[in-house]
Amino acid sequence: MATQAQAKEKPGKTHQLAGKLMQGADMILQVLADEGVDTIFGYSGGAILPTYDAIFKYNEARPKEEQIQLVVPANEQGAGFMAAGYSRASGKVGVCIVTSGPGATNSVTPVRDSMADSVPMVVITGQVARAAIGTDAFQEAPIFNIMSACAKHVFLVKDEDELEATIRSAFDIARSGRPGPVVIDIPKDVQQHVGTFKGEGLLEFRGFDQRKIARETRKLSKKNVKDFFRILGGSSRPLIYAGGGIINSNASEALREFSNTFGIPAVTTLMGIGSIDTTSRLSMHMLGMHGTAYANYAVEDCDFLIAIGSRFDDRVAGNVAEFAPNTKNIAHIDIDAAEINKVVGVTWSHNADAGRTLRELLEAGADFKKDFTHWVDHLQELKKRHCLNFNRESDLIQPQEVLEELNKITKGDAIISTGVGQHQMWAAQYIDFHRPRSFLTSGSMGTMGFGLPAAIGAQFAYPDKLVIDVDGDGSIRMNIGEMETVTTYGLPVKILLLNNLGDGMVRQWQTLMFDERYSGTDKSLHKKNFVKAAKADGYEFARRVTDRKDLKETLVEFTAFDGPAFLEVMVDPYALVMPMVGPGKGYKDMVVGDYMTHRGTPSTEPSGVQDPSAF
């Protein structure tokens, strides 16, 4: 706990406000400003009022360009996801400030979601005065206990003299190593206490500090480098398996250079989408449960798998024993030592920052020469023969065709957020992404209601970019109050709602595994008129498409609209996300559906395609 730690000084220039008497709440705001915070997402309440008052005073004393913008959502979960969306899009630490009790407990889901996807965020929660803690005071909740199971670290500030250093340390912890959310629970009387502002100092955590220094200084040994290139030299079918760690560590540029320099193709996880340009010849797109068939076939065929910033989770390696069956070697680069050998045994590993490690390998491998053209050609043939497809003859609008048309408009340049469900997987499959941090989605937690507030956070991070929330009727209901937040702040966020009148992904599982018993997933009897709801919230562009002939033109108008826009497209309620690797199954059991080509027997495949040992 913070009260057991000693403050340590950070060498550098003396802060211009050092020595000034301040209220604790004013110290909080000053440290946030020092950390580069320009936007706060949050909802006020009694226990956090001193800090909200400090925000007002801070901004009142400064010109507009120096103020910290306060964004007030419909509820605290929305605030948390906005901060997460801001962080995911920008790479900065997102900040959320809420009150005690229900305000703090409403923030648990975005905190856990950010922890699961390694998103740096600082959540400041108000708490009842220290003397009232443990008395079941009004709006009291044991946030330290609750959040400890969900966050990277939690502070309960009981010593007012440690407040300033605690805020600063929270940012350091949130962004260092494997990023994650840090929660600071601050009693009201600590916010009101008047003390001397130091302008510097972090809390001291000996083990954490030692590990941090080790991570920041650890380099590849000569033996490790030699072993890596020995394995790569002996490989004829190497494949990069890139995860969200690439994006979190800003290593996309290094990964692309590594892939292009050595001619090694790459698959990505859902969270790794954008780390490699999806239109690149070396991109095999997403692997796993709903990955492309050709990505999964690439994993089956490779003989050397290079995992970077990825963790072999169950949506990728559902059947660990059958995962990548032809690999002779697996390498793993990850900032988190706990992930290495956790699920899959590896033959080569390095526990360090992905970007730095890739640059070291590039430098060390300057003279390495091996031609993998035949392997890349093989994968291009797989791409051609086993490409994504869907029912193009249906009378009903197919959700895939909506996103295919959207992709023709955005051309890989938009920031896309999603809710969770079928629409999430279709967006991952059918939309291109040229850059990292342009696909924002709840991966590990799979939190419905994520898409809209995340899009709002991303739009605040990038006011001039096209930001589109691709959502589902079930998912958007979870945080539908945030539709008004978009118009309140005049944000040009675009909401594309694929309405299939139900919880599509759950219904898909019920179709395939529960004999079509649609328990709790049918929303055809619900009365929500989303277009009227959007108009009521002030959307000047609010339309519904039910006829295919209107789709293309309406999508163009929707994306080009100058301001908030809402478009609902009624889609086939029984469209399935394909391919699909069932839970606990291997890639050999992948189902591709009726509109894609499954890999056949050697006699039905072109020469050299079925049997990778042919080259």
CA 469-467-56 angle, 5° bins? 100
CA distance 462 to 438: 11
CA distance 279 to 323: 26
Task: Give the number of other CB atoms < 10 A from CB of residue 46.
Answer: 15
**Among 9, 56, 138, 528, the one annotated catalytic:** 138
Write the CB contacts of 454 (distance below 8 Å, at least 6 apart in sequence).
81, 82, 84, 85, 88, 417, 440, 442, 469
The gap from C-alpha 83 to its chain's centroid, in whole angstroms, comes to 12
Dump the DSSP string for 562-609: SS-EEEEEE--TT----SB--TT--GGG-B--SSSPPP--GGGSPTTT
Q: Is 41 a catalytic residue?
A: no
Closest by CA to 505, choosing from 439, 574, 449, is: 574
* C-alpha distance across the termini of the chain, in Å: 58
**Among 22, 41, 76, 425, the one annotated catalytic:** 76
CA distance 303 to 218: 28
Q: Is 76 a catalytic residue?
A: yes
**Among 92, 188, 198, 494, the one annotated catalytic:** 188
Confirm if 474 and 503 have CB atoms less than 8 A apart. Answer: yes
Q: Is 615 a catalytic residue?
A: no
The beta strands (E) that lie in 168-213 are given as 181-187, 194-196, 202-203
Which strand ranges, in their side-by-side order, compose the sheet holding 467-472?
439-440, 415-418, 467-472, 494-499, 565-570, 541-545
Q: Is 478 a catalytic residue?
A: no
**Among 147, 284, 505, 596, the one annotated catalytic:** 505
Q: Is 115 a catalytic residue?
A: no
Strands 69-71 and 153-156: unpaired
- Inter-CA distances, 509 with 269, 344, 476, 505, Å: 21, 27, 20, 6
Angle between helices 76-90 and 451-461 (to 10 degrees): 50
CA distance 285 to 296: 10
Task: Give the number of other CB atoms < 10 A from CB of residue 453.
Answer: 32
**Among 67, 69, 139, 380, the one annotated catalytic:** 139
Closest by CA to 297, choosing from 593, 587, 592, 606, is: 587
The structure tokens 């080009």 sit at: 560
Radius of gyration of the chain (CA): 25
CA 160-104-74 angle, 5° bins? 125
Tell me the helix, strand and coil percentages in the chain, rounded to 5.
40, 15, 40
Q: Where are the alpha helices (DSSP H) in 264-398?
A: 293-301, 354-364, 373-385
The beta strands (E) that lie in 68-166 are given as 69-71, 94-98, 121-127, 153-156
Secondary structure class of 341 (helix, strand, coil): coil
Q: Where are the alpha helices (DSSP H) in 249-353?
A: 252-262, 293-301
Write the CB contacts of 536 (distance below 8 Å, at least 6 apart in sequence).
none
| Catalytic sites, residue numbers | 76, 138-139, 188, 505
